[in-house]
Each structure stands twice: as structure tokens, then as C-alpha cells.
Structure 1
Amino acid sequence: MDDETDQETTIEDDYYTFLNISRNASPEDISNAYRRLSRLYHPDKHVDPTLKKEAEVLFNRTKKAYEVLNDPHQRAIYDSLGIRGLETEGWEIVQRTKTPQEIREEYERLAREREERRLQQHTNPKGTVTVNINATDLFSKYDEDYSDGFSNGLFSCIEVSGMSFAQSIEAPLTLRDTVTMSGQLGTQNGTGSGSINISAKRLVSSKGWVEVEVGAGNGPTFSLKAFRTLTKRLFCDGATILQFTSHGVKAGYVGTLAMQLDKHMVGYLTYRAGIQDAMSTMIVRDTSQSYTAFSIHFGLLHSFVSLNYTYKMEEKQLKLRGSVKAGTFGAFLEYGAEKKVSKHSSVSAAVRIGVPTGVTLKLRLSRASQAYTFPIHLCDEVLPAPIFYATVAPIITWTIIKKLIIDPVVKERTEREKEKQKEMNKSRMLEKQREAKAATELMKETVSRIRAEEESKKGLIITKALYGRFVYPQDRVATDESGHRDEMIDVTIPLQCLVKDSKLILHKASKSQLPGFYDPCVGEDKQLLVQYLFHTHTHECVIQDDAPLRIPVSSHKVNTT
């Protein structure tokens, strides 16, 4: 894992950005960009020995970028996994006569073989811990019992009514075969139960898999499961279950037919027979902004209708959930939120208000593959007080914990990651800084010619360009004069060098890979400030590091009156 993390942290060359072309550039675009930079960096164009040496380095880099992107085979691999893809063990055996698609498939095969070797050395443990808490005495309507409870202490009103533990270990044998061992142990109001299961799953083809499972608990069980893609929009799965008890053998069947209704919507039809007879249908719509599920269930034991909705706030890493369910057993309304606190951790809280179940607060902490759930039963009836406290208390608690614990920890971790990234790329960034300064020096003669041409026709002239981390536009010049240095560099010459026919086009990518640029603040958010003249009028704009830019634009015009 450490090697993989280090590879992700190490900065790689972006050939597309270096040539200032889009990722879907045509062969003609690639050739034109190569010829433009070749004229700029060709060693024969420079007489000074120092500049000649620097030009040779940049020319070789330009040539390498061109060779990779101009070769459909190498470009296919580079597009998939970058420079590391070209250096993967086994790449040299790939036939050069294959198409780009075949090359991608060949590389993926090599990557799968490497992944298979890695998987054979790992297991994937998953576990859940559930602690059921009964706190109904806190909101008992009998006032005479209230004082006695508090006289003995607040915690005397709270008891653990049940606990359950579930753990599974998934051991991939190959990319097609997986063995899973799982177990569950629980107790509720003094009554315990447990089970253990072992399953073997095999990926038969890209369209289906089969799984055999045996278990023991309340009698031995055996099941055979299968999944199959029928068409591009239709797929199904089924399971046959045999349960051996003291009263004989019980057989059950579960089958689901699913159809992709549109890009974001899937419909399911499920039938159960034997152990539990029922039929249900469900429609799920899942987009980047929301998740909606509507289901109707008809069964011998109970029937119900339910609606679930989740609003996803990706920028805040927050999900707001709500659901309603009604049937022969009663009805309930549930609402809550889930917040991602780190890359592998999240917390959630939900309030369930139901008849006849009462009010329950559910707290959940997920960390990597482990989940800890705490359902707290507050009241057997639907009363205002438990609903209010169940809603407000988690919000206040989360605000305090976030302010005093989570924010400082996350900030410290972020700073530590930035320092690690800077340290890992220290030598690399020194090399890029030297290369950027050399490129800027080599551009000066060309820039003088471009600027003269643009001035003659009152075209696009870059008067000032800064790249890096800064906050307020009015402080950018003042900070330098006062001695405080923001982490930014002057890229006026490199941008002017990219001007062609009174236009400047930068594509969606980090600008640190452009000729004459480097990253002055690794790990920090960066911006690009551009001040320019067009038709003798002053213009200015600020964009984020990876945002595209096309100038001149009339909205950038600065009002000097």
C-alpha cells in the first residue's frame, strides 16, 4: 500500500499539457504542437553554450512527448495509466501491429495478472458491531418514576438490550475465484443466536457468476446462487436455499429480474417462494445529486410500501436521507444525515418515528471496512420531547466534536500529507524549476517577435501573469513590495509565447506542466492571474489551476473610469 501511495503522490509529466493540446487532440494537432516547440527548443537554434545545453534537455522532452502521443499504441496505454503504464513489466511483448483497443486490452490483461498476484497475498476483512440501547426511562410519562431514576444516576435509566457481531473474511484465490467465511453472533433480551457460513464464488464470464454457500446455526443450510446478464439492459439473479431442521428440510427460492430503464434508473421484480412467500417490485433512480427508491412488497407475513430519498452534497461530503414506510405492521418516518469525515471514515445519525415502535435514534460510525451501529430506543410512544432531543442532540454533539477534535486532526493530517508530498517531490521540483527558468530564457527571442506582431495589430499582449497561491488580487503586488512572498511565479513570458493569432487557449489541466511553468507550492490550491491588453484595453482574469482558459474575452475588460 505504501508503494501505491508513493506512486500516486509522485508528480508525473503530462505530455498533453506540455504540448498545450487537449486530450482528444488529432494527430495533426500533435504534429503542429511538436513543430512549434521544436523550433523553439532545437539546440541548433541557439549559439550560447549554456542555452544550447538547456535547449537540448527541453527538445528531448518535447520529442519524447511527441513520440508517445503520435504512436496510437503508446498513446492508448498512456491515456489509460500514464507513464507508469508504458513502463509496466510485459509491455515489451505487445505486438506493434495491434489496434489501440487491442493494446488497451493487452495492457489490462498484464495489469490483471499483477493484480492477481497481489490479491493472492491479501484478505479483505469486514465487520459490523451493533449495540441496542434501551433509554425509554429517560422519557417515561410517569413523573413519579422520573425522580427515582435520576436519584440513582442518569445511566441507571439506560440499559443495553442487545448486541450483535458480524465478521467476514474474503480471500480472493484468483481474479475469478473468491472464498468468503462469515459469522454472526447476537443476543437480544437474554436470548442468543449465532451462525457461520462459508461460500465459494466463481466468475464464470464477464456476464455472470455462481456461488455455493454452506452454513450452520439454527440447523445446517445450503444455498446455490447465480447471476447472469441477459441483454444490455436486462439481468437476473436467483438463489435456491435448503434449510435442515429437526422438523425436516425446508426449501426456498429467491429470484430477481432487473431492467435498466434509462441511464440512471433500474427496475427490480423479486419473487420469493418456500421459506418466505412474497413478491416485491422496486424502482431505483441513482444520480450524482440524489438517490430515490420506491418499493411495493406483498407477503404472507406482512405487506408494505416504502419510499427512500437521499440528497447528495458531494462538495460538502454530506448526504441527507429521508424515508417513509407503511404496511400491515405499522408505519414509520425516518430522517437523518451522513457525513464523511476522512477518506475512509464517516458518521451518520438518523431519527425513526414509528407506530407502534415509538422513537429511536440510530448512530453509526464507519471506519474502513468496520461499522459500529448504536440504535437507541428513546420512547415507546410518539412524543415531542424525545423527537426534539433525538434531532437536536446529535447536531450539537457533532458541532462540538468537529470543532474541538475532528477539524484539528484533519488539518494536522492535511499539513502532514502536504509536507510528505513536498519532500517526495523535492528533487523533482528543483529540476522542474530549473527547466522552467531555462525554457523562459529560451522563449525571450520568440516572445519579442510575437509581442511586436501583436502590438502592430493591437492584438493580444500579456502584460502580467502570476501562477501559484494567493488570496486577494489587491495584495499580490503589495505583498512582494512589503517583503512577504506569496508562493507564486511570474509566467508572463511563457503565456505570451503561447499566443497565436491574437488568441490564447489553455486546456483543462494543471498549468504547472506548461512550458516555463512549475509548481511553486506542491499540495496547495493554485490560481493563474492574467492581465492583458487587447485593442489597447486592459483586461484581467483569475482562474483555478485546472480550469480551461480562452482569451480575449470581453467580460475580462477592466473599467478604468
Structure 2
Amino acid sequence: MGWWRRSGGVDGPAVHDDLSSDDKAAMRVRKREVVVEAAVIGGLVAVQFVYAANSVLLSYLMSLGLNPLTLVVFSALATFLVLSPVAFVFERSLWPKKFDLKLLVKLVLISFGGVTMFQTLFLKGIKLTSATMATAMPNLAPGLIFLIAWIVRFEKVNIGCLYSKVKIVGTLLCVVGALTMSLLHSTAANASEMSSSSSSSSPANTVFNKDKIIGCLYLMAAVFILSSIVVLQASALGHFPAPISLCSITSLIGVFTTAAVQLFEDHGFDLNWSIMSFGHLVGFSILAGLIGGSCVSFNGWAMKKRGPVLVSMFSPISTVCTVLLSVFTLGETIKLGSLAGMFLMFTGLYLVLWAKGKEGPPESGDRQESEPDVEKPLLKAGNGHRFPTRAALIRHLTLQKPLNPSNRIPKPRGAGLRKILEVVNAWSSRNCSLVMDEEVTGPPSRELYALLHVSPEATEEEIRRAYRQWAQVYHPDKYQDLQMKEVATQNFQRICQAYEILSDETKRQIYDIYGMEGLNSGLELGPRLSKAEEIKEELERLRRKKEQEKHLMHFRPSGTILTNLSFPHLLDGHGFVRGMAMTTEYQSQISKNNTLALNGNLAVAENSGGRAGSILLKHDISPVASAEFMVTFGLHSLAGMQTTHHLSNHATATMGLAISLQDGSFNLTNAWTRQLSDTANGNIQLVLGRESSIGVGWRKEDKKMSSSGEIKFGTSYFGASANCAWRFSSKSHGCIGGKVGSTALEFEVGGGRKISKFSTVRALYTIGIKGISWKVELHRSGQKLIIPILMSRHLNPLFAAGAFVVPTSVYFVLKKYFLKPYFLKREKQKALDNMEKTSAEVQEARKAVERAQKLLENVANRKKNKQLEVGGLVVTGAKYGNLKNTGRSEELGLDSELASQVIDVTLPLNFLVSDAGQLKLHEGVRKSGIMGFCDPCPGVPKQLHVQYTYGGRNFEVTVNDCEELSIPREAHRI
């Protein structure tokens, strides 16, 4: 009652006025904890009710004779569709950059075992036994996981330890309980004796029901497979630390493995059931995926708040709920022997969970949230027994947190002007398309920042402080040896030059735009340009002049050739080519403010065709407004105009009017575009005319990902579309998209690869109401060749799977045995030529690095010893250079000398560790310019691999040359 009064009861206001601010804050924290606790407990109970209802529903569906494999295919597909957006939003930063063969094998095994085997056996077990048995049997999982992990040495067991003994006893109780429940649940009275027992007092003869015993064996096998898969997944999470993404990928792979099993077993796919329509099955699968995905998300949140042990302790509730639902809905009878077996299983489960909870306490007592034990993830899947989304396989959610909060970087002086200059410099080289060619080059003019180890946005005070730090190390007066003094003098001169340029605002601005070449060649903007406004105005004048020259020089052609191919038409004897279309456009800057574009297109489809041409003139009225005039002639002749006005720095409005020259009808178009963030914008479009419509769209583009979406409603149609593309590397990308509406329903997935400096190849697989097709594209500069190939007009699951798997497999075979060896041979020759050309330069740079590191050695070792004493950050190993070729020397056929295009940078990184035990290398700065570094392989992409210890634990991370490095981080933990 006292707490209630302090929280606002009858005496609350009087007491509340006397409380200090700290007491009020503590009171709010306690209230919040009570609310969170109630939400966790209530939500976990609700989740178990959902699992129980799902098990009862599955039992009913199995009793109707539904094929388990078919249900597995649809449910796994629904799981993928529900979880993949969640994984993409929250876990894409955790995705590995490269999927090696070992990880792919693990994913296939997890898919086949966790989706195909586990769920199929689980459903067959439900069909032969009951929903009660199906929900009770997975309580074996924690004990079996512990046993399997012990066998494969993932879990250490000390027989002399009390908690290890308790876990062993709990596992035995789980097994004994499962056997007891299975045997006693499988007993049935002999029919002949049952008839005579009505007139006789003798007991009926008891026999075992063969089907129920087989069903129990199915369930036990399913739980054993699940436990093995959880252990395997614990190993896979070390290389792929994204559990929801892992479940999503394995669900998709499981769709194909299950479909293959069904094809092998049933010799086809039968979607015509009298017991259940195809639409009802799809609806049930989507509903199961949505509910299952919500339960998975809530379990992950609850595990983050209160730990995996509490989440697993609620699993028996679903068994109890299933018992009650089965009795009242399906009319099942519960036997006393089954209840006894359940009691033994629950006792063993709680013993294992209790021992696990006592064995893995939190590492620090100041955590507000109970985080899962990262080193012992194997018991976090104790209650993953419901069928559609396999919660047991994704309940090891671990929260990736940095060991230390990131420091706030103070806002630099003059940052606005430098931002303008950077935008001007990047204007001519920007490229937002994932398909267009892009050179992989780092940011220019950053060597001086790397030399002083400061950010490009550093303030004058930060630059001065960095200069003093380096001057204390490299000042020549500190060294008596003549050779050391000479080395120190050379490095001290470099530091002084960097400080002189970066501390002068005018020189720094010129360096940021033009680099050292601008300073050395006298590109200062004149002595009169002493103010930032004058510098900005002069740079804008130079930018406009460069832009005009570029536009006047280029006559930009572009074109598209599209060829429609069709296998159904070929089989019907109508030819392989269905139609062709060609579009050509020429655009030229005819004057300072005018642009002329000529466009023509031709299309042929079977026995009909069409052509059209257009002329467009664009006039820039002012820097913020433009007008376009267009005339189109052909089958549909049009005349129109359009004006565009920039309302602000983030908003644009467009209005257009088009009139038909045939019937006089017109269309009025209004569009508004708004920049939502640095990488995203949205638009609204309104069309009034014969086909009036309104549409809302958005688009987001950044370095790794590009996505867009649109919803449109018209007088006679509606539709929605979404597309997403992300870059796997500098040469390859993947994309996924979909359309739904009154005239379209399709799903598209594919990818592309850059095969040369100007050429990109893409392949897209499409499935929808119009059929199944592949689309192959070749992009070269502004030209495109697009070849859609219709594979089938009908949606057959078997054919759809084959149409996707066979071409994909052919591509991977060609890549592995033909394309990759060819490109490796070319890469080998390029590496040899490049090393021969730069060998003298690299050798000289290595000698300079050795001398520079020798001067850093004393201070670096002193910092390292200090960090060792306090258990702080210590860099144990660091390599910089062409790490890809280092690991592939055997594959490339290079000897050890040629393949070792790396240098050891352990010592300079230890020198850069701060007194607080942190190390940060700034983004956008090439690491070859850091003191103690050099470029060991000019012209080749470089990486930095760092191994370090923090708090007695080992960490490891690899970053690209211009990528930010901030350590320590929990995500780097081995």
C-alpha cells in the first residue's frame, strides 16, 4: 500500500510534493518496469494461447486428409513473405558481405531439417495422435539441445557442478515423461472385450494402438530434428548474426526442398481438394504467417527485456490450453497416464531451465534489460513447437550493442560552407542508379586528414590538438641518433604542412575541392577572395561554366530494343517471337537554356503494329523554373506543355496539359515532389481527363540499397507496386519487386552483374496471373536490350519451381566452372602486371613505413601496456592491403611474395587508441595516409582487418579502405 500511495493513491499528492526529483525519477522507472512486466507476462500468455489454437486447427486440418507437404509449402512461403520485410528493415546491417560454401551448406541443411523434415513429421504426428501430444512433445527440446550440444562440444559440462547434474537429471525426466506419455496415450481397449465388458465386471484387455505409437515416434523424431537444427543454427549464427533473416532465408529454401520431396513422393502437385479450396488454403497460410510473425517478434522483444529463460518457462501453458481446446472443440478424451507423462516432462523442462538460468548470470549489473547469454545460445529455443514459423529456430535473438557509446562529434565551424563545396565537387560524378556503371573510387583530397588522424569535418581546435600530439612524437629534437633524427624530420615536415593547410580556412577549402594539385598549381581564388561568401560565389561561377561546357560538348543518344519470346507460342506452331519494340532518343543542349530531344518508337505484336515520334523542347526560365513543349505524331497525336517550379530546396511542383489532335480530349496533370530525407523523397500525382487517377509514391536511394513504391487509383483501375534493389558488391546487385491491382498480380526477383566498365547484365524471374517468364537485360551506356521470355501461361507450382531452379543452377554451374576461372586468369595477369609496374614504389613506401613505425614504437607500447593493465582495448593484430588476394593466393596461382599485398599496422593502431580505450578511423578517409600506413598495392581495392581484445574477450572486424572503423563493438565479438 505504501508504494501505491507514493505512486498517486489517496495520500499520493501530499507525499508527491515532498519527493525530490531523484525520487520522482525512480518512481517513474518503477512504474515503467511494472507496465513492461505486465506486458511481457500478458503477451507471453497470449502467445501460448495462439500456439494452442494453431495446434488444434492443424489437428483438424490433418483429420480432413490434407496433404502435410502441401501445407508445409504454403506455410513456409507465408513465413518468408511475412518475415523478410522485418529482416530487411531491422537486420540488413548484420548480413554477411559474402556467403561462402560452408554457410550455404548450413542454410540448406537447416532448411531441409527445420522446414521439410520437422514440419512434415510434426503434421503427420498430429494426424495420427492429437493436438495435445503435438504441443507437449516439443518440451523435450531444451533437454535434447543440451544433450546434442554436449556431444558436439558446444556446451561444456562439469559432472562435479550442481547445475550440470540438474540439467542431466532434467533431460532424463523429459525423456522419461515423453516415453510415459507416448505409451499410455497409445493404449486402447480391445473391441471384442469392450463389448463383453458391458455385461461383465472383468476389466477389458488393453492393447497398444499402432497408429498412435507411430504418431508419437513421428513427433519424437521431429523434436530430435528440431533440436539438432537449433544446434546447427547456433553455429550458423556465428557467421550470419541475423536470426530473423536466417529464418526467412531458410523458409524460402524450405519451400523448394519440400516441393521437391512432394514431387518425388506424389509425382506432382494436386491443388484440387474437395475438403478445402485453394483460396482458403492460401488465406490460412497468410494468416498463419502474419500471426506467427507477430508472435516471433513479440518473443524476441520479451527475450530482450527478460531473457530466454522466462520466455521458455511459458511453453507448458500452450499444452494446457491445447488440452482444454481439444476437449471442448474436437471432443478428445485425456487419459491420466498422459497427464502423468506431461507432469514429468514439465518438471524436467523447468529443472533444465533453472540450471541454465543459474549457470549464465548477466555479466554486469548495470544493464537495464536482460540480454541473452551470447556464449550460451543453445537453450533459447525451448518452446519453439508451433508449426508455421518455427519459433524455436529464431529465439536466439541477440542484441548487438557497442561496448561503449559513440562520442558526439562537435559541429565544426564553417561546416555549412564546406558542405556546399563538397556538394559542388560531387555534382558531376553523382549516380543513383544501381544498374548504371559506377567506378569504385574513394573520396578525393583526404590524405592530410588521415595524416593528422582527424575527420574531414574536424574543428580548428581538433586539428590543433592532433597536430600537437603528432609533433610530440616526431619532433627532431627528441632524437639523438642521426638516422632517427632524419626520419623524424621528414615526418615532422609532413605534419607541419598538413597543419598549415588545414588550419588556414581558405587553403583548406581549396584543398577540399581541388586537392594538393590545386594548391601546388596556384589555383587560389585570388587575394581579394577573403570572405566565405566571395569564395562561394566564385566556386559557383566555375561550376556553372563547367556545367555549360559539359552540356554543349555532349550529344547524348539512348535507346531500347525489346524482343518478346514465347515458348507456348513456339509449341503451338506460331513461332518463337511474339513481338518487338524499339525506342530511340537523341538529346542535345542547343544553347545555354534550351535542350532539344527527338524520340521515335516502333512496336510490332503478331499481326498488328504501331509507330510514333515526338519532339520535345525544354527551356530553363530561371534557376528554379523550366518549361517543356512536346509534340507527338503517329497513331495518337498529341500536343502538350509542362512547367516545373522548385517551391523550396526540398519541394518541386509540376503542372502539365496534353491535348489530343484527333478527338480534342485533354489531360491535366499535377505532380508534387517532396524530399523526405537525405536519401528519400515522396510524390503525389493527380491526372484529370479521360482516365482520371491519383497516385502516391516514394523512393529511397543510398549507397547499398534503392527502393520505391507507388499506389494509384483511377476511374477504371487501381494498382500498387513496390521494388527494392540492393548492392551486394561493386559489381553485382539483386532486386525484388511486385505489382498488385485490377489488371496485374505478379512477383519479380532477380539480379545483375557488371561485366565491364560500361556494360551490365540482368536476369529477372517473374510469376503472376499472366504466366511465368524470365527477362534478360543488357545495359551498355544509354542503350538497353531487353528480352522477355514467356515460359508458361499457367501457374503450375511444379513448373514454376523448375523454371526458377533450372536456369539459376545453369548460371551457377557456368559461373563456377567457366566464367570464374576465366576472370581469375585475367585477374592474375592484371595483378602480376600491376605489381611489376609499382614494385619500386611499394618497396620505397614500405621502408618509409618501417622507419615511421619505429618512431611510434615506444609510445604505442606504453599505451598498449596501460590498456592491458585495465583490461581495455588492445590491438593484437592488424593487416592492411589487398586482403582478398591474400586469402586466394592458391586460387590465383600467385606465390606468397606476390599474394602478400598487405602490411602489418598493429603498432600504429595501438598508438591511435585513446586513453578511454577507444579507436576511431573516420569515414571517407583513405587509411593509406595514416602515419605508419602506406599503399601496398596501388590501384587495387584495399581492406583493413583488425583483431583486438577488450575486457579479456576476443574481437575481429574487417572494413573497406574508406569505411569508418569504431572499436570496440559487441558486434565484432568472436
State the TM-score, normalizing by the size of structure 2.
0.46
Q: Distance in 2 between matches of 1:411 and 1:105?
A: 50
1:269 to 676, 685, 708: 685
Match of 1:123 in 2: 555
Q: What SS does the corresponding residue of 2:789 show, helix, strand or coil?
A: strand
Match of 1:169 in 2: 586
Q: What SS does the corresponding residue of 2:935 show, helix, strand or coil?
A: coil
Q: Which whole-Å deviations, capped at 9, do the CAs of 1:22-56 have from their partners, x for residues lacking one?
A: 23322112112212323333445445554444333
Residue 196 of structure 1, CA deviation: 3.1
Is the counterpart of residue 468 in structure 1 residue 865 in structure 2?
A: no
Q: Distance in 2 between matches of 1:210 and 1:283?
A: 23
Match of 2:692 in 1: 278
Q: Count how many residue pairs are aligned between Structure 1 and Structure 2.
A: 515
Match of 1:312 in 2: 725
2:455 to 9, 22, 25: 22
Match of 2:545 in 1: 113
Query: Within 5 Å, which residues of 2 pair with 1:20-169?
Result: 20-80=453-513, 82-83=515-516, 86=519, 91-93=524-526, 95-99=528-532, 103=535, 106-137=538-569, 158-169=575-586
Q: What SS does the corresponding residue of 2:934 show, helix, strand or coil?
A: coil
Q: Which whole-Å deviations, capped at 9, do the CAs of 1:259-289 have from their partners, x for residues lacking one?
A: 538444524132143xx44222223353655
Q: Of Structure 1 and Structure 2, which has the larger fraction of its residues in helix?
A: 2
1:326 to 741, 760, 767: 741
Q: Distance in 2 between matches of 1:555 and 1:349?
A: 34
Is the counterpart of residue 224 in structure 1 residue 641 in structure 2?
A: yes
| Counterpart residue type for residue 188 of structure 1 | A
Q: Distance in 1 between matches of 2:787 and 2:868?
A: 74
Match of 1:250 in 2: 664
Larger Rg over CA atoms: 2
Going from structure 1 to structure 2, the CA distance change for 1:456 and 1:352 (only over 3 Å counts) comes to: closer
Q: Which whole-Å deviations, capped at 9, do the CAs of 1:124-150 have from their partners, x for residues lacking one?
A: 22110011224324566xxxxxxxxxx
Q: Distance in 2 between matches of 1:389 and 1:456?
A: 58
Match of 2:932 in 1: 516
Match of 2:853 in 1: 440
Q: Distance in 1 between matches of 2:903 and 2:526?
A: 44
Going from structure 1 to structure 2, the CA distance change for 1:188 and 1:58 (only over 3 Å counts) comes to: same
Match of 1:150 in 2: none
Q: Of Structure 1 and Structure 2, which has the larger fraction of its residues in strand?
A: 1
Match of 1:148 in 2: none
| Counterpart residue type for residue 808 of structure 2 | I
Q: Distance in 2 between matches of 1:19 and 1:516?
A: 12
Going from structure 1 to structure 2, the CA distance change for 1:168 and 1:87 (only over 3 Å counts) comes to: farther
- Any conservation in 1 of the 2:567–2:791 contact (CA below 8 Å)? yes
Q: Which whole-Å deviations, capped at 9, do the CAs of 1:340-366 have from their partners, x for residues lacking one?
A: 344641313232433xx5555433332
| Counterpart residue type for residue 738 of structure 2 | S
- Any conservation in 2 of the 1:183–1:197 contact (CA below 8 Å)? yes
1:350 to 753, 758, 765: 765
Going from structure 1 to structure 2, the CA distance change for 1:424 and 1:193 (only over 3 Å counts) comes to: farther
Going from structure 1 to structure 2, the CA distance change for 1:394 and 1:551 (only over 3 Å counts) comes to: closer
Q: What SS does the corresponding residue of 2:658 show, helix, strand or coil?
A: strand
Residue 496 of structure 1, CA deviation: 4.8
Q: In percent, how many aligned pairs have the same letter?
A: 21
Residue 63 of structure 1, CA deviation: 1.7
Going from structure 1 to structure 2, the CA distance change for 1:267 and 1:420 (only over 3 Å counts) comes to: farther
Q: Which whole-Å deviations, capped at 9, do the CAs of 1:6-28 have from their partners, x for residues lacking one?
A: 99589966112211122332211
Q: Which whole-Å deviations, capped at 9, do the CAs of 1:429-475 have from their partners, x for residues lacking one?
A: 44533432332344456667x46994997797968544235989xx9
Q: Distance in 1 between matches of 2:864 and 2:653?
A: 69
Q: Distance in 1 between matches of 2:718 and 2:875?
A: 66
- Any conservation in 2 of the 1:10–1:424 contact (CA below 8 Å)? no
Q: Distance in 2 between matches of 1:94 and 1:166?
A: 53
Q: Distance in 2 between matches of 1:35 and 1:216?
A: 72
Is the counterpart of residue 188 in structure 1 residue 601 in structure 2?
A: no
Residue 226 of structure 1, CA deviation: 1.8
Q: Distance in 2 between matches of 1:200 and 1:319?
A: 36
- Any conservation in 2 of the 1:464–1:530 contact (CA below 8 Å)? yes
| Counterpart residue type for residue 472 of structure 2 | R
Q: What SS does the corresponding residue of 2:804 show, helix, strand or coil?
A: helix
Going from structure 1 to structure 2, the CA distance change for 1:551 and 1:359 (only over 3 Å counts) comes to: closer
- Any conservation in 2 of the 1:198–1:214 contact (CA below 8 Å)? yes
- Any conservation in 2 of the 1:349–1:394 contact (CA below 8 Å)? no
1:235 to 652, 675, 685: 652
Residue 71 of structure 1, CA deviation: 1.9
Residue 388 of structure 1, CA deviation: 4.8
Is the counterpart of residue 399 in structure 1 residue 812 in structure 2?
A: yes
Q: Distance in 1 between matches of 2:781 and 2:499?
A: 42
Going from structure 1 to structure 2, the CA distance change for 1:296 and 1:81 (only over 3 Å counts) comes to: same
- Any conservation in 2 of the 1:285–1:292 contact (CA below 8 Å)? yes
Match of 1:203 in 2: 620
| Counterpart residue type for residue 172 of structure 1 | Q
Query: RMSD over aligned Cα, in angstroms?
Result: 4.4
- Any conservation in 2 of the 1:290–1:309 contact (CA below 8 Å)? no
- Any conservation in 2 of the 1:465–1:495 contact (CA below 8 Å)? no
- Any conservation in 1 of the 2:882–2:941 contact (CA below 8 Å)? no
| Counterpart residue type for residue 698 of structure 2 | V
State the TM-score, normalizing by the size of structure 1.
0.75
- Any conservation in 2 of the 1:468–1:526 contact (CA below 8 Å)? yes
- Any conservation in 1 of the 2:881–2:903 contact (CA below 8 Å)? no
- Any conservation in 2 of the 1:533–1:539 contact (CA below 8 Å)? yes
Q: What SS does the corresponding residue of 2:933 show, helix, strand or coil?
A: coil
Q: What SS does the corresponding residue of 1:489 show, helix, strand or coil?
A: strand
Going from structure 1 to structure 2, the CA distance change for 1:304 and 1:126 (only over 3 Å counts) comes to: same
